[in-house]
Structure 1
Amino acid sequence: MSETDLQGETINETQLDEDDRLRPDFVRDVLACVEDGDEQGARDLVGPLHPADIADLFELTPEDRRGALAVALGDIVDGDVLSEMNDHVREGLIDALEPHQVADLASELDTDDAVAIIEDMEAGDQAAVLRALDPDDRAAIEAALSYSEESAGRLMQRELIAVPEHITVGQTIDYLRDNPELTTDFWEIFVVDPQHRPVGTVQLSWLLRTPREIAMSDVMKREQTLIPVDMDQEEVALRFQKYALISAAVVDGGGRLVGMITVDDMVHVIQQEAGEDVLKLSGAGDGDINQPILLTIRTRLTWLVVNLGTAMLAASVVGLFQGEIGKFALLAVLMPIVSGMGGNAGTQTLAVVVRALATNQLTSSNTVRMIFREFRIALANGLVLGLLIGTGTALIFNNPALGGVIAAAMVINNMVAGLSGILVPVTLEKLNVDPAVSSAVFVTTMTDVMGFFSFLGLASVVGLSG
């Protein structure tokens, strides 16, 4: 092992733990240097870090000390660091910078990363930053901002290599060598026709192993996955995942090549979308611990108020059977079991269905089959749970009728939970409403209402009394 390797290993052991997370004592040392005015000491500590680790350092720093840290680190906090930074943390830092400073940082980045920095700024600040950019950079970023948020047009980068199909491998290599202004980070070359429509791709490994005189049209792969510029980022991620793509061409309405998307961008999108749906199901917003407190309170409180309304609806069902509960108080003890188990069963089905919708596993072609599948699962689970709770209730309270009532109610509510767990999100999807956002409220309401109604209603019919 070389001396450089040993030094790098020592640095990593000092700064990062076994899980590649910044050590608390390292963070404290950096902030101590900043507080003591030892800016050079802070830069010496942070300099060897990867941009992603520097971004983590800012996220681990208290909000009121991030500005001083950024000043101390100076040009270490470059565009690459900002592009890796949490959105809320980045917004706070950018607000403290002058427009020309933001423009300098954005000019260092690919279009997609520059857009990520600029897109959430206030309109006036955004305009000031765009004015400070070079004309070419400004035109590229303005064009990207013209596309809808979370679309392929926002994600794509315009820095790519495209060559006409009639030139040879040798001419392509010469073109790459003779034009230093071309992007240096690419994995494949796009081959285009005279109308600038992509007709194939050539991987760099093929290019380097092919004789110079061979035409690009003879070495290129004609089958390719084209991404429409207005496609939602979640659909783009699914295509990358399904076809194991490293990069893909983005085309406009006329089929012309306008940019490309790379797999490193998709990793962030896949992670974001996967966590987003889970958090939406709980009504917790985007779940970011760096989100402003007031915004978090407003997001969570909105759904808690909705849940309060549905809880009152369920309570009103219980109110219909006050007489029966008064005669046989044991009903009040047992009825939460029925509604609670139904809610859990509905949540299980809902989580599976929302994920299946998000990953295109559940489509109109197999929806009916999925409904019958979940019905069979719900019926089987309900029968097993009903047998267990019914037998236990009958033995513990020496009341077979009560056992039969709670067993029947458990079966009914589990079937309602299974059906609502799939029908609610599928219906919302058909209505172009995000099923991850509001499905849980409807499913929980249905299982609570039906759980109370079936148990108390059956008890009333049977005529249970203390």
Structure 2
Amino acid sequence: MNEREDSLPPRDISDNAAEEARSAPPPETELDEDDRLKPQFVRIVIAHAEAGQHEEARERIGRLHPADIADLFELSDSDERQLLAAVLGDMLSADVLAEMNDYVREELLDLLAPEQVAELAAELDTDDAVAIIEDMEVDEQQAVLRAMEPEDRAAIENALSFPEETAGRMMQREYVAVPEHVTVGDVIDRLREDGDMTTDFWEIYIVDPMHRPVGTCQLSWILRTPRDIAISDVMKREQTLIPVDMDQEEVALRFQKYALISAAVVDDAGRLVGMITVDDIVHIIQEEAGEDILRLSGAGEGDINEPIRETYSARVRWLIANLGTALVASSIIGFFGGAIEEMVALAVLMPIVAGVGGNAGTQTLAVTVRALAMNQLTDSNSWRSIFREMKIALLNGGTIALIAGTATALWFSNPGLGVVIAAAMVVNIFVAGVAGVAIPLLLEKLDQDPAVASSIFVTMTTDSMGFLAFLGLAVASGLTTL
């Protein structure tokens, strides 16, 4: 990690960029109707920076929310990001880094000294600080930790000791807890007097002498209750506790199911060790949903800021696997090569059978993977879901078979061929429906991620079965021979 430099090497500034920076009027608003930075605003800020008009650039950026400043960096090229970082100086705050894309943030952190990163991390809650530090190289991470205050360092090291994507890694260690015997007045006085208390919280936790949570109390209840009432008489004893080792996806599901704003995190002994708030859950839901979609397509992390080498590595493995499964379908076509030569119409029609079946399987697969991710599909209703998809597949298959069979019979003036493709459609769409739900369920039983491997097996099944059903029925009906 290099020391941040006060100035960057001079760059070639075009006359157009400098002129645009000088003459650009202040926009009425920096954001469009979708709350995205306007392209004109991004160009003007970068032009100011390139023209050396740093104060003008800072003045325009200073009107932005930290999340929008993070967007500004993500919308800029790599060399422009370095220039913007140098221009912003102390305006590149911890809040901006916390909102930033992981790859962009990692690039900027390489420009900062360990002491600067430690100072920025100390300004954040532990969950946000961990998000900044956890992706750094081990030696850089240790350098930053050594530069932190002992208390902050201990909290970060404790968080990093938990596995990634667990409640322990994402929880916030700043929370408010009080014993059962205090009054509402005692709680209010403490909230007013404790200067080190976390600034953002919606409820306090009531704990027993072993520091185990026994209830919660919302701030609104405290404000409406007389001071002399015991906090134990106001608190709600029913609460949702999050085990420290729970996967973040399960945490998000609990927040969604029970409409939580925040929740206490407990260790193996049931002691309160932190809390998770709904703002963190919003990020988790977005992240997990995006991961499932990208895994289904084999597109890696799917981040446009991801280095090309990493994107290539993730995608090429998937394409090689698809190449292997495609050979299975090709071998079936090869087996029926003589039949295809005898009746060229088969070569024209068989991709239709495989393609429609593949789309039907993808529909079912998407619904099943989502249901598994949302805990809507479990052992209790798996067979019901399979039978449901069978019925839907038969209805879809019958409808498509009627259309495809009639069109084929009329186009080729061959009723027998129309019957064959209609029957093949019914068979393949039915198989697609069953495979789309059964394969993810089987992978789930085998403790494999259904989102990662399901699509490749479903595609292989629908392609192979489509060719086999259509060509096999054509031979069996006497339309052609092997």
TM bracket (short chain): over 0.9
Corresponding letter in the other structure for 1:50: H
Corresponding letter in the other structure for 2:336: F
Select 2:66's aligned residue among 43, 47, 51: 51
1:150-202 CA distance string (max 9 Å, x none): 00011100001000011100111111122111112111010000000001111
The residue number in structure 2 matching 1:184 is: 199
Q: Distance in 1 between matches of 2:125 and 2:480?
A: 74
The residue number in structure 1 matching 2:260 is: 245
In the alignment of these two chains, the number of paired residues is 457
Q: For structure 2, which runs of at least 5 residues remain unmatched after alignment?
A: 1-24
Corresponding letter in the other structure for 1:54: I
Q: Report the more deviating stretch, 126-135 or 274-283.
A: 274-283
Counterparts of 1:262-273 in structure 2, within 5 Å, are 262-273=277-288
- Determine what percentage of the aligned residue pairs are the same residue: 68
Counterparts of 1:94-109 in structure 2, within 5 Å, are 94-109=109-124
Corresponding letter in the other structure for 2:106: E
Select 2:144's aligned residue among 117, 129, 135: 129
1:21: how far off? 1.0
SS at structure 2 position matched to 1:253: coil
Q: Distance in 2 between matches of 1:437 and 1:327?
A: 41
The residue number in structure 2 matching 1:204 is: 219
Q: Distance in 2 between matches of 1:269 and 1:312?
A: 38
Q: Kindly indicate whether residue 242 of structure 2 is the aligned counterpart of residue 227 of structure 1.
A: yes
Q: Report the more deviating stretch, 453-462 or 31-40.
A: 31-40
Counterparts of 1:423-462 in structure 2, within 5 Å, are 423-462=438-477
Select 2:375's aligned residue among 360, 365, 368: 360
Counterparts of 1:77-156 in structure 2, within 5 Å, are 77-156=92-171
SS at structure 1 position matched to 2:260: coil
1:387-432 CA distance string (max 9 Å, x none): 1111111122111111111111111101110000001001111111
The residue number in structure 2 matching 1:6 is: none
Corresponding letter in the other structure for 1:116: A
Q: Distance in 2 between matches of 1:345 and 1:154?
A: 39
1:415-458 CA distance string (max 9 Å, x none): 11000000100111111111011100000000000000010011
Q: Distance in 2 between matches of 1:235 and 1:359?
A: 9
Q: Distance in 2 between matches of 1:118 and 1:330?
A: 61
Q: Distance in 1 between matches of 2:159 and 2:269?
A: 17
The residue number in structure 2 matching 1:7 is: none
The residue number in structure 1 matching 2:179 is: 164
Select 1:302's aligned residue among 302, 307, 317: 317
Q: Distance in 2 between matches of 1:286 and 1:247?
A: 29
SS at structure 2 position matched to 1:14: coil
SS at structure 2 position matched to 1:166: coil
1:12: how far off? 7.9
Select 1:313's aligned residue among 328, 331, 349: 328
The residue number in structure 2 matching 1:394 is: 409
Corresponding letter in the other structure for 1:189: I
1:301: how far off? 1.1
Counterparts of 1:403-442 in structure 2, within 5 Å, are 403-442=418-457
Q: Distance in 2 between matches of 1:12 and 1:203?
A: 42
1:461: how far off? 1.0
What is the TM-score when the length of structure 2 is the normalising length? 0.93
Select 1:322's aligned residue among 337, 340, 360: 337
CA contact 2:134–2:141 (8 Å) conserved in 1: yes
1:70-128 CA distance string (max 9 Å, x none): 11101111110000001110111111211111101000000000000000000000000
Corresponding letter in the other structure for 2:366: A
Q: Kindly indicate whether residue 57 of structure 2 is the aligned counterpart of residue 42 of structure 1.
A: yes
Q: Kindly indicate whether residue 85 of structure 2 is the aligned counterpart of residue 63 of structure 1.
A: no
Q: Kindly indicate whether residue 287 of structure 2 is the aligned counterpart of residue 276 of structure 1.
A: no
Q: Distance in 1 between matches of 2:239 and 2:26?
A: 43
Note closer, same or farther for the CA distance 1:28–1:231 as it changes in structure 2 (3 Å cut). Answer: same
Corresponding letter in the other structure for 2:296: L
CA contact 2:184–2:226 (8 Å) conserved in 1: yes
Q: Distance in 1 between matches of 2:168 and 2:55?
A: 41
What is the TM-score when the length of structure 1 is the normalising length? 0.96
The residue number in structure 2 matching 1:3 is: none
1:14: how far off? 2.9
CA RMSD after TM alignment: 1.2
Corresponding letter in the other structure for 2:219: L
The residue number in structure 1 matching 2:386 is: 371
Q: For structure 1, which runs of at least 5 residues remain unmatched after alignment?
A: 1-9
The residue number in structure 1 matching 2:20 is: none
Q: Report the more deviating stretch, 65-74 or 134-143.
A: 65-74
1:29: how far off? 1.4
Note closer, same or farther for the CA distance 1:333–1:296 as it changes in structure 2 (3 Å cut). Answer: same
CA contact 2:27–2:41 (8 Å) conserved in 1: no
Q: Report the more deviating stretch, 385-394 or 218-227.
A: 385-394
SS at structure 1 position matched to 2:63: coil
SS at structure 1 position matched to 2:28: helix
1:40: how far off? 1.6
Select 1:289's aligned residue among 295, 304, 315: 304
1:38: how far off? 2.0
Counterparts of 1:312-351 in structure 2, within 5 Å, are 312-351=327-366
Corresponding letter in the other structure for 2:397: G
Corresponding letter in the other structure for 2:314: T
Q: Report the more deviating stretch, 434-443 or 18-27.
A: 18-27
Q: Distance in 2 between matches of 1:465 and 1:187?
A: 74
